[in-house]
Structure 1
């Protein structure tokens, strides 16, 4: 009986050690997986409610997805139409992100309007690149906000948030070419996410595909505005050998914004 108890104790210790070892291995694998999100939040103005700003609703949608890093477009900072609040700061706090970077695209209504990076990881080397516009009149200034995110395992990736021109295709083409040029100078694995205002099959996406790998092809619709729908919000990465796409999802939420969140899991290869 005593011998049996000793054997049982040894077996139990072996089982505990084995379980601990599996947890460590699992943690190592998950540390290389980055859950990425892109979301055009329409300055936190819900569809059909022109005078309402609901940061809490947008933050709840973002928080629910559990992303590690997110690209957010159409963000107001201290603008009159949004009640002079700092939406970038509030979204970071309410959605549970410890780090954020706001890239202002333009002055608007007493404040700034642009794109945002939300991150659970420390951000360094932040910069906002102005993107070109066509010479003809019309359109809004656009930017690429970029930062380096340091993962818990010590590895780093470059991440960018952008929003291309909505109504001028010539500007969009110039802008995606500039993003490709910028990406060509980046030595780290690079993820770019945002509202590209361009559908699959367009020249913009053909240019994009020459330098980046998308997380989806024949993608589900990401926005709705009246009778208009389509996939115009994308998550892309480069170089191709740097990432493995584990999943891609469009979250079916039409209450908080006129765009739906796009979420993808990317595994950073060794």
Structure 2
């Protein structure tokens, strides 16, 4: 009798599975919440020279992202405090892991980009983006980590901050595309691109990556924002697809508005 009962249960389960539609499968798909945030070295523009790491941490914690790309991060600089590693402190305050990528020396310390991750960081890479010596510019870098949000599903998450000069941005974009185009892993690229959606730079990225938004809400300045230059994008052909993009109306902590993106992992 027990065998018959188990057989009936198995048949019912198989019938239920057979009638499961595409929408049910979609509900089972893993999702990720990603944020990109230019944090202005944790200096609220309206607060003089004050450094307020806690304000940035509150913005991040309120959104509960899985992965965060940070730009304009200070480590042991005079303006932010010689003993303050902002990436490390933000990781502590948000309960996340971190990786910092130095771009330049600044006031006795380091300045660059970073990533935060709720997942263990399996690998991390820093690489320098090119600057044309004939026109000059500030050295920029990539902070890239490998994580495994779902067992057996590894991916790369990278933060960057492109140069102010378009010729440099184009060269930097070409290098980024070549670098991440060589991997078979899904790639999430996020940051301050210093370029608007109709620029040559973003059009170049659009050939290899898919932005989370096409008509993107402006991210700068924080009051009456009028242009979008902060983006999250995923490499084409991967298992990631954006389902929503939102610009957070947070006008105190930084001079950029943070962008929050929901991604579906197939």
Please report the TM-score for the alignment, with normalisation by the length of structure 2: 0.87
**Superposed, which structure 2 residues align to 1:15-54 within 5 Å?**
29=28, 32-54=30-52
Q: Which residue pairs with 2:132 in the alignment? A: 134
SS of residue matched to 1:220: coil
Superposition misfits of 4+ residues, deviation over 6 angstroms: 225-228
**Superposed, which structure 2 residues align to 1:79-94 within 5 Å?**
79-84=77-82, 85-94=84-93
Q: Which residue pairs with 1:61 in the alignment? A: 59
SS of residue matched to 1:88: helix
User: How many Å apart are 1:79 and its aligned residue?
Assistant: 0.6
SS of residue matched to 1:223: coil
User: How many Å apart are 1:227 and its aligned residue?
Assistant: 7.5
User: Is 1:213–1:240's contact at 8 Å kept on the other side of the alignment?
Assistant: no
Q: Which residue pairs with 2:173 in the alignment? A: 176
Q: Which residue pairs with 1:220 in the alignment? A: 217
Please report the TM-score for the alignment, with normalisation by the length of structure 1: 0.85
Q: 1: distance between equivalents of 2:167 and 2:223?
A: 25
User: Is 2:185–2:238's contact at 8 Å kept on the other side of the alignment?
Assistant: no
User: How many Å apart are 1:156 and its aligned residue?
Assistant: 1.0
User: How many Å apart are 1:34 and its aligned residue?
Assistant: 1.0
User: Is 2:143–2:159's contact at 8 Å kept on the other side of the alignment?
Assistant: yes
Q: Show CA shifts across 1:138-189 (max 9, x none).
A: 42100111110111434211111000012x1111111111110111111100
1:109 aligns with 2:111: no
Structure 1, unaligned runs of 5 or more? 1-17, 19-24
Q: 2: distance between equivalents of 1:252 and 1:226?
A: 9
Q: Show CA shifts across 1:6-27 (max 9, x none).
A: xxxxxxxxxxxx9xxxxxx99x
Q: 2: distance between equivalents of 1:260 and 1:82?
A: 21
User: Is 1:146–1:159's contact at 8 Å kept on the other side of the alignment?
Assistant: yes
SS of residue matched to 2:195: coil
SS of residue matched to 2:242: strand
